Each structure stands twice: as C-alpha cells, then as structure tokens.
C-alpha cells in the first residue's frame, strides 16, 4: 500500500465508522440515563417543564406521578427558578417545546395561541375548584389551565423577638415601619422583603385599596394611595431597618430561620421548614394597610398546568393533565401538603387536608380566605416588569413616584393596546 | 513537484517506485480541497451566524411578540420605540461611560502586570500563571463568588466582615443604588477576569521589542525607567495597544454575564445586552423590539470601533513602526 493511499479513508473504514456511530447512538438511546421517566407508556412521549421548587422531595414526587401514568412516557425537566420563565418562553418557540408546562395564567399566552383550551376536561369538576382560580384562568368563557396549588403570601414573624421589643403585630404600613425600627438590633434587621422588593408590589397596591387593572382592563394602580405607599416604602428602604443583600431570596425562609431578621415576607410553602427551625416561635400576618382607607391583603400566587397548543400531542397532554390534576386527588393532596404547605385549589381536597387544619397553617388558610387576591389573567409579564421598574426607580432609586408611575402607564398602556385593542 | 520530492525523502521509496502522478478528478483539484476544508465552517457560519443576523434584521420590521415568524409588518416602529425607550438609550449612555472607564483601566493594569512579570527574575512562570488563571474562570462563576461570598450584604460577607473590624456598618453592595457601590463590585470582577488575558498579549509584544533599541538608547543617554518606557517601550507597543483597546471596547459593549448575575432586575447598571435580553428573550418576549435594539447596538459598536481604529491608526503599521 502506498503512502498516498495510507493517508486516505478507505470505503470500508468509512462504513465501519458509520456503523460504529449508529451502534453508539442506538446504545445511547437504550440507556437508562436519557432523561426518560421510565414509564411504560403506549409510545406517546410527553415532556413537561417544572420550575425547581425549594422543598425537598418535590422533584421526586412529580417524577413519581409521571411514572405512574401508563398511557404515555412523561419526561420531566426540572429547571432552576431564576431561568424558568426565560427558558420556557424561548423553548415554546422551538421544536423542543414542552407538551405541558407550569406557569401562571396570562392572557398573552392565549392571544398568541400558545396554550390549549382545557374547558372540556375541567367543566365536569368546575364547581369543585376555587371559583377565583377558575376565574383567573378564564378568557371569553374558555378555561386555559388547571390550578395545581394556591400559594398565599404574607409576613412571618418571630413571636419572641416581637415580645422582647414590645411590638404588636402591625396592621398598618406605618406600624410595620415602626416595628422594623424597634426590632433592628446589632445583628438582626427588623424586616426582610427580598432585595428587589418584588414580592410586595401587588400586596402594597391592594393594601392601598387599588388594583393592578380594573374590570375593564384599564390601569387601576395609579392612585394617590399607591403614591403614598411608594413614599412609605422608600422611607422603609432607606431606614436601615430592612435586611438587604441577604444570601437567599424572600421565597426562602432561611433569613428568618437563621436569625438575620425578625419579620420576613414569604409564602405558605415555607411553613414546614420554619416550624422545623423555630418550633412554635413564629406567626403570620397579612400585608398591612398601606393607607388608612386601605385593607390588609394577601397575594394568592400559585402554579397552574398548561398544555402547549402547538405541541405534537395536544390530546395526549390533555389526557395526562386530566389524569393527574383532576382525577388523582390523592396525588394532588400529597403535592399540596406533603412537602411545603400549599392550599389545594379543589374544595373537596382543601376541606379534608388535615395538615392545614391547625396552628399557623389554619391561620394561613384564614388569611387566604379573608384577604386573598388572585392572579389577574390580563396582567402580563410586561406589565409586571413595568411595576417592578416603578419599585426599582422610586423606592430603591428615589425617583418621584408620580413620574415613575407615569412611565409605567406608558408601558402598560402599550401592552393593553396590543392585547385588547 | 517539491511536495512529492519531500515525501520521497522523508520516507524511503520502494526500489521500483514510479514517480507520483498528478492526481486526477476532484481530489486533485485545489478548488475542491479548498471547499472541502472551509465548506463545513462556512455552512456553520451561514446557519448559526449570518442567518440569525439576517432573520433578526427582518424581525425588527415586524410586530413579533411571542413569535419569530411574524406576519404583521410595522416598518420602523420598533426602532422608534427602542430609540425613545429611556432604559435602552440610558443603557447605551451608561455603558459608554463604563467603557470610557474600564478600557483605559484594564489597559493600564494589564500593561503594568506585563511589565512587572516581564522583569521578574524568579518564579516568572508562577506569577504569569497566577495573573492569567482568572481568564479561565467563567464570568458567571466569578459573579456568583463576588455576590455570595465577597460582597454579600450581610455581616458574614467577606468585605463586610473586614469593614466590621473597623466599625463600619454592613454595606448592601448590590442592592442599593445610592451610593453606587455596585460599580465597585462589577469593576473589580471584570478587572480580575480579563486583565490576565491582555497581560499575555502585552507580554508577547514586550518580548518582541529588540534589545538593541534599549542598548542604543542607553548609549544615547536615555535613563532607564520612565524615560525608556515613554520613548521606546510605549511606541513599540502601539499596534498591540490599539488591538487591546479595540478588543476591550467591544468586550465592554458586549458585557452581559457578570451584570446579569450581579444585578438582577434593576433599572440601573444594565449594559445594552442585558436590556435587550429582558426585552427580547426574557419575560417580555418582544423579538421585534429586541431585534431593532440589536441592530442599533451593532451599528453603534461598528461606528465606535471604526472611529477608534481611525483615531489610533489601527492597521496602518506594525510594532516596528
């Protein structure tokens, strides 16, 4: 064989390489580490996106439910919280889009045809769902998502610290500011609401007697009460009594549990963790009245399951949603109460959920029922960002609240015009 | 046929070897070989670079929310929106200031490090590695270390611990925009990450300066130190300096990772790319407006780069001139 022919691929070696690659590909596809849930499905493959919940055991639970389903192979992608929204939205535009995903009800997903109509699977059990949850998923009489959990959010406080500082549970924003001042000591800050304060934007608006949008889908947040609230929030932010730069975000109760603050805004999901860390030395209260004429409020967040309307297996995905989030009540209760605490959106499950019947959990449910505000499907991500910018500009950066709200109005009206004409 | 002869010399030919014949057909064609080697890369470039750029330009003239295949043509509306958007225009302005600061600072620091390392007589390789290693670190990882460990706002953050020894209250480095401590965090992270790379460029250029120049200068009475540096070293580094400044300028406008990770959801300290990310890829999903912003930013970077090249004479000469 000449040197010349040595330097070239022979046809045989090319075939050999191709066959090797094919075999390797086949083996890889057969391997157990391919991200499949291992279900004994009928050949239909479904992919679902979940954001990474903080509570231990949640990922395993979701995969367990998927594995128990025998009509499709359901693969779960568990995505870090900070990246979830951007990854979800970007992926929905591609062929790798998930068949199912959890998110919050938002009208732009319906307008852009991203989510499937689930009215037919929900209607038979519609009356068993919290009516506010149904309303928050309904556009033009059609229901576009199934609520999986309701997540009331309020303030958690250390009873012993408030008693020691002789501080009563605040019912107004002024009292909260005074409490934060009295509770701030050398090593402990009075209050923690997250570095960006985003969690308390809506509660502050509701507690000022305003709303994000009104019934006609017009701006309802630009009121004198909200402006007064923004000024108070600015005062609080610069008071030195607010914990800033904490290692964990406000959805994580670590700052309260580790004694970095005396009061923290968080969600009901954190209750088991707080109970474990602090015993009975804690309580909860709603976001206080921003102004005298306002009313205490609780943000009822939560997550809902949606079906990708542009997916390849819309009907199979709907069947899975019906099976898990409508038929499997046992799994729904486990999902809502066995890891963190959430309120099941199904009345029949909520009424029998024993873990939510006593102590602070029961108090959380009471606050949910008495002061709760639910997601508004017309309040979109772009609008949410606009009010986040208001908080960034005037609470954290000392812009005039009126000017900051004017700027938000421009952005929100642009969005409203696109959505509703 | 020098190639054939070289091959024959390198490997003893069989006794009856016939002289190599010119190859026939495609395999012997230089044009075929050219496309064989460059084709895959050109295809990749076309698919992953040029097509997205063209698609982005196309998208910028459409109402493209939550879709990349829009059908509603809106002309220059997205451009008007972006150019009248305070946050986007503000990000361009802020980052022109940032670039004006970080470019000369990094230039000076990396040149200083190169001079220092070049003169070392012992442990030279060690110090070169020490200064170069941060270049290998991911911007995201560095940002998280800066944020969670060194510049955490609570009492057990490293900087706050040190300041606490002197009775200074905890500083929320990245949360409170006034005073703007966040710039200190960002600038230190960026200097740490990129100075080592530019140091290597300067080091290579320094080692290319002929020793005779310094000898001749010494004979002519030039004093070592500042005088030699000012009149010999610096002019000899002109081409490298121009290239370094060009790269730094582009890097400053393309800043994303550390800003995105250090300053989540602020309205300040946002480089244009972070602004565009929130507009196009984040929660807003406005690909039309995001694409218009990307085109504006590209034009701006090209203009600044050309101006800088013209001003500093990039490409007009080499090191020796």
Which chain B residues are Cβ-neighbours of A3 within 8 angstroms?
Answer: 7, 11
* DSSP-derived secondary structure for B155-196: TTSHHHHHHHHTTPPP--TTT--SS-HHHHHHHHHHHHHHHH
Q: Which residues of B207-236 are buried (b: 16+ CB within 10 A; e: fewer)?
A: eebeeebeeebeeeebeeeeebeeebbeeb
Q: Look up residue A254 and give its two tokens.
A: 């670590």
Whether the Cβ atoms of residue A137 and residue A145 lie closer than 8 Å to each other: yes
Q: Do β-strands A73-79 and A45-51 pair in parallel, antiparallel, or remain unpaired?
A: parallel
User: Average pLDDT in the B31-40 region?
Assistant: 89
Q: Look up residue B209 and give its two tokens.
A: 């300066």
**B106, burial (CB in 10 Å: exposed 0-12, middle 13-18, buried 19+):** buried
User: Average pLDDT in the B202-208 region?
Assistant: 94
pLDDT tens column, B292-314: 999 998 898 888 888 877 877 66
Cβ contact (<8 Å) for B266 and A196? yes
Whether the Cβ atoms of residue A370 and residue A152 lie closer than 8 Å to each other: no
Query: Which pTM value belongs to this model?
Result: 0.83
Tally of CB atoms within 10 A around A307: 29
Whether the Cβ atoms of residue A161 and residue A155 lie closer than 8 Å to each other: no
Q: What percent of chain B has pLDDT over 70?
A: 89
List Cα–Cα distances, A42 to A19, A56, A99, A134, in angstroms. Answer: 29, 31, 16, 32
User: Which of B33, B88, B147, B285 to mutate: most A Cβ within 10 Å?
Assistant: B285
User: Average pLDDT in the B238-257 region?
Assistant: 90
Regarding predicted confidence, which is higher, A286 or B215?
A: A286
Which residue in the set A108, A245, A247 is minimally distant from B173, CB to CB?
A: A245
Q: Taking a contact as any Cβ pair under 8 Å apart, which residues of chain A between 213 and 242 contact chain B?
A: 237, 240
H or E stretch at A78? strand A73-79
Q: Which residue of A has its CA nearest to B153?
A: A245
Which chain A residues are Cβ-neighbours of B282 within 8 angstroms?
Answer: 85-86, 89
- Can you name the residues that pair with A151 across neighbouring β-strands? A301
Q: Any CB–CB contact under 8 A between A409 and chain B?
A: no
List Cα–Cα distances, A346 to A69, A131, A353, B257, in angstroms. Answer: 21, 10, 11, 42
Cβ contact (<8 Å) for A112 and B65? yes
**Nearest CA-CA partner of A153 in A358, A368, A329:** A368
Cβ contact (<8 Å) for A82 and B264? yes
Q: Any CB–CB contact under 8 A between A107 and chain B?
A: no
Give SS3 for B35: helix
Check residue A135 and give left, alpha or beta (phi > 0: left; psi -120 to 50: alpha).
alpha
User: Which of B267, B273, B276, B287 to mutate: most A Cβ within 10 Å?
Assistant: B267
Distance CA A374, CA A153 (A): 11
Which chain A residues are Cβ-neighbours of B3 within 8 angstroms?
Answer: none
H or E stretch at A50? strand A45-51
Distance CA B26, CA A201 (A): 69
pLDDT tens column, B255-297: 999 999 999 788 888 899 998 888 887 777 889 999 999 999 8
Q: Tell me the residues of B at the A interface, defined by beta carbons under 8 Å apart.
A: 7, 11, 20, 63, 65-68, 86-87, 148, 151-155, 157, 169-178, 264-268, 277-278, 281-286
In chain B, which ranges are continuous DSSP H helix?
Answer: 2-10, 30-45, 51-59, 77-83, 86-119, 124-132, 139-145, 158-165, 181-207, 211-219, 226-228, 234-236, 238-253, 257-262, 272-276, 287-312
Distance CA A15, CA A227 (A): 74
Distance CA B75, CA A86 (A): 27
Q: Any CB–CB contact under 8 A between A332 and chain B?
A: no
Which chain B residues are Cβ-neighbours of A389 within 8 angstroms?
Answer: 87, 267
Whether the Cβ atoms of residue B66 and residue A89 lie closer than 8 Å to each other: yes
Q: Is the pLDDT of residue B320 over 60?
A: no
In A243-358, which ranges are continuous DSSP H helix?
Answer: 254-257, 271-278, 314-322, 329-337, 347-352
List Cα–Cα distances, B239 to A366, A370, B208, B226, in angstroms. Answer: 72, 71, 12, 20
Which residue in the set A3, A187, A198 is minimally distant from B11, CB to CB?
A: A3
Q: To 10 degrees, what angle do helices B51-59 and B287-312 make?
A: 120
Torsion of CA B154, B158, B163, B169, to 10 degrees: 0
Distance CA A339, CA A350 (A): 16
- Smallest Cα distance from B283 to chain A, Å: 6
Which chain A residues are Cβ-neighbours of B177 within 8 angstroms?
Answer: 396-397
Q: Look up residue B207 and give its two tokens.
A: 């080692």
Which chain A residues are Cβ-neighbours of B20 within 8 angstroms?
Answer: 4
Distance CA B178, CA B209 (A): 47
Q: What is the pLDDT along chain A (421 residues), one digit of tens a residue?
A: 333 334 344 445 444 544 444 444 443 333 333 334 444 456 799 999 999 998 999 999 999 999 999 999 999 999 987 778 888 988 988 888 999 999 999 998 898 889 999 999 999 999 999 999 999 999 999 999 999 999 999 999 999 999 999 999 999 999 999 999 999 998 899 999 999 999 999 999 999 999 999 999 999 999 999 999 999 999 999 999 999 999 899 999 999 999 999 999 999 999 999 999 999 999 999 999 999 999 999 999 999 999 999 999 999 999 999 999 999 999 999 999 999 999 999 999 999 999 999 999 999 999 999 999 999 999 998 899 999 999 999 999 999 999 999 999 999 999 999 888 7
- Smallest Cα distance from B183 to chain A, Å: 15
Which chain B residues are Cβ-neighbours of A392 within 8 angstroms?
Answer: 265-268
- Smallest Cα distance from B172 to chain A, Å: 5
List Cα–Cα distances, B307 to B248, B300, B302, B313, in angstroms. Answer: 15, 11, 8, 10
């Amino acid at each position: 064989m000449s040197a010349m022919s040595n330097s070239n691929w022979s046809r045989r070696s090319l075939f050999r390489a191709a066959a090797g690659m094919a075999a390797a590909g086949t083996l890889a596809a057969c391997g157990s580490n391919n991200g499949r849930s291992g279900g004994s499905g009928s050949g239909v493959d479904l992919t679902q996106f979940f954001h990474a919940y903080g509570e231990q055991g949640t990922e395993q639970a979701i995969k367990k439910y998927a594995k128990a389903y025998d009509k499709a192979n359901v693969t779960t992608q568990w995505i870090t919280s900070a990246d979830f929204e951007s990854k979800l939205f970007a992926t929905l535009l591609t062929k790798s889009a998930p068949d199912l995903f959890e998110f919050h009800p938002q009208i732009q997903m319906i307008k852009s045809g991203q989510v499937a109509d689930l009215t037919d699977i929900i209607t038979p059990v519609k009356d068993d769902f919290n009516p506010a949850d149904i309303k928050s998923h309904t556009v033009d009489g059609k229901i576009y998502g199934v609520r999986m959990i309701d997540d009331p959010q309020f303030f958690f406080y250390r009873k012993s610290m408030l008693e020691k500082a002789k501080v009563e549970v605040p019912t107004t924003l002024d009292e909260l500011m005074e409490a934060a001042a009295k509770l701030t000591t050398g090593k402990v800050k009075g209050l923690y609401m997250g570095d960006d304060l985003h969690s308390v934007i809506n509660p502050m608006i509701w507690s000022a007697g305003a709303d994000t949008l009104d019934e006609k889908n017009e701006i309802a947040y630009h009121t004198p009460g909200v402006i007064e609230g923004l000024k108070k929030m600015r005062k609080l932010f610069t008071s030195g009594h607010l914990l800033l730069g904490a290692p964990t975000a406000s959805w994580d109760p670590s700052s309260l549990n580790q004694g970095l603050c005396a009061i923290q805004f968080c969600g009901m999901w954190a209750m088991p963790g707080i109970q474990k860390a602090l015993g009975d030395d804690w309580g909860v209260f709603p976001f206080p009245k921003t102004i005298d004429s306002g009313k205490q409020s609780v943000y009822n967040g939560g997550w809902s399951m949606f079906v990708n309307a542009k997916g390849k297996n819309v009907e199979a995905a709907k069947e899975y949603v019906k099976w898990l989030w409508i038929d499997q009540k046992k799994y729904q209760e486990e999902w809502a109460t066995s890891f963190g605490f959430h309120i099941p959106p199904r009345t029949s499950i909520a009424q029998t959920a024993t873990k939510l019947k006593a102590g602070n959990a029961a108090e959380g449910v009471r606050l949910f029922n008495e002061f709760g505000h639910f997601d508004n499907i017309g309040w979109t991500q772009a609008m949410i960002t606009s009010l986040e910018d208001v908080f960034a500009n005037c609470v954290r950066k000392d812009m005039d609240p009126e000017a900051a709200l004017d700027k938000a109005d421009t952005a929100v009206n642009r969005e409203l015009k696109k959505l509703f004409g | 046929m020098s190639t054939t002869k070289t091959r024959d010399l390198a490997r003893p030919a069989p006794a009856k070897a016939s002289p190599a014949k010119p190859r026939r057909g495609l395999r012997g064609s230089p044009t075929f070989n050219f496309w064989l080697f460059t084709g895959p890369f050109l295809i990749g470039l076309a698919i992953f670079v040029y097509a997205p750029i063209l698609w982005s330009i196309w998208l910028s003239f459409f109402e493209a929310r939550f879709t990349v295949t829009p059908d509603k043509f809106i002309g220059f509306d997205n451009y008007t929106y972006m150019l009248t958007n305070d946050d986007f225009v503000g990000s361009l302005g802020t980052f022109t200031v940032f670039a004006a600061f970080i470019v000369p600072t990094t230039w000076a620091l990396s040149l200083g490090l190169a001079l220092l390392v070049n003169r070392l007589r012992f442990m030279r390789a060690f110090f070169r590695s020490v200064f170069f290693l941060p270049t290998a670190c991911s911007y995201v990882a560095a940002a998280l270390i800066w944020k969670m460990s060194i510049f955490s706002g609570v009492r057990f953050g490293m900087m706050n611990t040190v300041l606490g020894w002197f009775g200074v209250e905890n500083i929320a480095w990245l949360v409170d925009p006034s005073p703007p401590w966040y710039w200190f965090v960002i600038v230190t992270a960026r200097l740490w990450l990129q100075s080592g790379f530019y140091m290597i460029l300067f080091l290579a250029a320094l080692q290319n300066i002929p020793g005779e120049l310094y000898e001749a200068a010494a004979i002519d009475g030039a004093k070592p130190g500042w005088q030699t540096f000012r009149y010999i070293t610096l002019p000899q580094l002109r081409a490298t300096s121009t290239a370094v400044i060009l790269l730094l300028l582009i890097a400053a406008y393309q800043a994303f990772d550390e800003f995105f990770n250090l300053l989540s959801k602020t309205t300040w300290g946002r480089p244009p790319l972070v602004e565009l990310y929130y507009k196009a890829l984040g929660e807003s999903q406005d690909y039309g407006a995001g694409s218009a912003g990307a085109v504006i930013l590209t034009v701006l970077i090209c203009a600044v780069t050309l101006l800088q090249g013209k001003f500093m004479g990039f490409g007009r000469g080499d090191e020796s001139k």
